[in-house]
Structure 1
């Protein structure tokens, strides 16, 4: 019944939240089986325009009678908060469903911004993303890479595993090609055939800071996507229409709460970012600063670096990598006389944050919901598939058979 109610629910969402995007897909001509249901509310579509052009992709299992998976695209607001953009219920996490999800997502996000996606290495994402988002960048989640590396070292010494993972992280975080080359050599020498095998199909431009050309604002892991999965943990066992509506209610409440909270913020920066700025600004450094012109400074750290406040760059590359002023920039700023807020991207400003939550997700009343009629069902549930690796139960014959 709940699968068939998606028809009614989709229509009502568009009535009360016009401008939302919904795609309900099922086999209309043969089996009438459910395939997928994609949804993005108008308030989320408009709000994402004021978040960083960064999306985290992930999927999670559903626990209801008919199983299935939930795929999600999640962003972060200017205060590092979870910002759900779109999600879909699918019969399984496969290449076809990820391709469909990304095609629907392309109808939701602003095509004028260059996007960066952070995800695991699911083949559906890797194959579909370049076609659907040809100008976007894809970064692999560091936590997934670490788990993949550990899987290749199941039967080796634990201390050795920890050391190899640490060396892999050092490669990923290295800011320059020179530093990366040094770290990757140490990784290969320590791991030998394990390291060579692990790196065989792993292009550096997908995971290493030194080679990545998109902007991921220092986000090395798909933690926002995993936070979304944890956020919906309690509703994953609900029937499908109730599940979709429960997620809608959570998004609606979150938007309302954050809209109200941000109205009381007095500063120009979001609180989390303001705290980071204050810490960096007040950090006592004995570095000497030499000034070249109004924008360019040399900070005599170890080693010394060049800071260009006008271009928002530092030769340590941390400003470019994180999209947020590094400690060298903050030290140089003290000598510049510039407005500190101008050094920080608008996405971290309170005014931009408030625009993210300016719009409203409206409730979906059920007072006019039609009564269920078995004879009028159009959509049937998807076929339940056993999770990979679970053996089929053997039937034990009864006495006399």
Structure 2
């Protein structure tokens, strides 16, 4: 009865919804746990068996590569006596993402999130951010757990299309295994989740965030000295992890606007329901989601005379509004002195696209001082924006089409004779622990859950006037 309700991309009704449906439609009362177990069975019917999906995976990935030539997929297994080959790791990077990465800013956000399916595991992701400040998924991997070997294997596969050079910057949530894997790869490392702060102090968190986002060293130390006065142990911790790992002013590379791993967190939230699917349905959900995103983003509206993406247009408009109060003095050809209302002066060089506030060269988007100078010089503001934010670059990033895997639902359970690899893949040894899987993300230190005002509980007798609300324990 419930199989049809779980078909498609959604997660289907929850246990309480099943209980209400059985009570309302069939006048049958069932317990919550019966509804939970029934839902597990219905998911298996609609999305395939969790155990059998691992054996179906090689055929699915072969069909995916045939439909999308240039994609990178790989399965890693380990042999166990008396059992055979058990699933260990799986990697997938679609050809459209690989080609689109050439048009991205070279900042890669990596993260891991737990799977809530029958056999648990962990989903590793690598993402970038396009010129319109949108998530651009690069690759995914399903591994047994988030450990050193799994992350090292993931970065090895990632290096097939992300070259190992000093231009690459990785941003993560400071998981020790990520740090170890990147250190072995000798890749530039940018880390910033510490902006969520080490202590549960909102004012301290604000100061750490302000120091981390400062463009100039003078601004950084002004705020950092205040952190020392508020909490010396926090300042010692920040120095101990390395200022270059969390402060923009000390970082040697270019991380643009990306200061946290929120890009990866956004991608994980999109896959929130799919993380409890069998592995085959999970990978197909990811492919279908990317296919939809690429098709939708190719339809970006082209305005007359518009050279940059919509999000960058908004940033330029906001900076232009703030530039009206600045005083501009010409120094030489394409060089200007800009003074704000507080009397601080800045040196802008329009030909080199630099400003002594360092925001211009850090974001590659004109700051308020550069816009004021460009207005004085009668230069188009959008001509000063870096090419990575242009509409032509954005269009090229999504030019490749992601094709569907036709009739993937009809893939039959493989035998050792017709398996692509000639090996039957058994389910992993790990299983989901007992109890209800956790849905909400565990907050980092210093993060606070935003909630609405707490509702006052009033019993029915108080509402009817049968109780004295001043002494009623329920009302209190």
Distance 1:368 1:329 in 2: 56
Q: Which residue is equivalent to 1:49?
A: 102
Q: Which residue is equivalent to 2:255?
A: 216
Pick from 329, 333, 358: which aligns with 2:370?
329
Q: Which residue is equivalent to 1:378?
A: 424
Bigger shift: residues 113-122 or 223-232? 113-122
Q: Is the 8 A contact 2:88 2:428 kept in 1?
A: yes
Q: How does 1:7-156 map to 2 (within 5 A)?
A: 7-28=58-79, 30=81, 31-110=84-163, 114-132=167-185, 134=186, 136-141=187-192, 144-147=193-196, 149-150=198-199, 153=200
Q: Indicate how the Cα distance of structure 1 residues 370 and 288 shifts in structure 2: closer, same or farther if over 3 A, else same.
A: closer
Aligned-residue offset at 1:381:
1.5
Distance 2:430 2:339 in 1: 64
Aligned-residue offset at 1:53:
1.2
The reply on whether 1:299 has 2:338 as its aligned counterpart is: yes
Q: Indicate how the Cα distance of structure 1 residues 288 and 85 shifts in structure 2: closer, same or farther if over 3 A, else same.
A: same
Aligned-residue offset at 1:121:
0.8
Distance 2:355 2:411 in 1: 62
Q: Indicate how the Cα distance of structure 1 residues 146 and 268 shifts in structure 2: closer, same or farther if over 3 A, else same.
A: closer
Larger Rg: 2
CA RMSD of aligned residues (A): 2.4
Deviations 1:326-361 (A, max 9, x none): 100100011223343331111111111000110011
The reply on whether 1:317 has 2:368 as its aligned counterpart is: no
Instruction: Say how many residue pairs are matched.
Output: 375
Q: Is the 8 A contact 1:21 1:108 kept in 2?
A: no
Aligned-residue offset at 1:210:
1.5
Aligned-residue offset at 1:387:
6.6
Runs of 4+ in 1 over 6 A off after TM superposition: 374-377
Secondary structure, counterpart of 2:181 in structure 1: helix
Distance 2:253 2:433 in 1: 35
Deviations 1:176-210 (A, max 9, x none): 223323322221222123542x2353100111122
Q: Which residue is equivalent to 1:350?
A: 391
Give the TM-score normalised by structure 2.
0.74
Aligned-residue offset at 1:374:
6.4
Deviations 1:49-83 (A, max 9, x none): 11211111111111110111111111111111111
- Segments of 5+ residues of structure 2 without an aligned counterpart are 1-51, 418-422, 437-476
Give the TM-score normalised by structure 1.
0.87
Distance 2:162 2:261 in 1: 19
Q: Which residue is equivalent to 1:157?
A: none
Q: Is the 8 A contact 2:115 2:123 kept in 1?
A: yes
- Segments of 5+ residues of structure 1 without an aligned counterpart are 154-160, 391-401
Aligned-residue offset at 1:117:
1.4
Deviations 1:18-66 (A, max 9, x none): 1111121111575511111111000110011112111111111111101
Distance 2:227 2:321 in 1: 37
Q: Indicate how the Cα distance of structure 1 residues 288 and 242 shifts in structure 2: closer, same or farther if over 3 A, else same.
A: same
Q: Is the 8 A contact 1:137 1:213 kept in 2?
A: no
Deviations 1:263-298 (A, max 9, x none): 544421111111221232244523221112222110
Q: Which residue is equivalent to 2:401?
A: 360
Distance 1:264 1:320 in 2: 27
Q: Indicate how the Cα distance of structure 1 residues 37 and 189 shifts in structure 2: closer, same or farther if over 3 A, else same.
A: same
Bigger shift: residues 281-290 or 16-25? 281-290
Distance 1:103 1:373 in 2: 29
Distance 2:167 2:57 in 1: 33
Q: Is the 8 A contact 2:195 2:246 kept in 1?
A: no
Q: Which residue is equivalent to 2:300?
A: 262
Distance 2:62 2:181 in 1: 29
Bigger shift: residues 341-350 or 246-255? 341-350
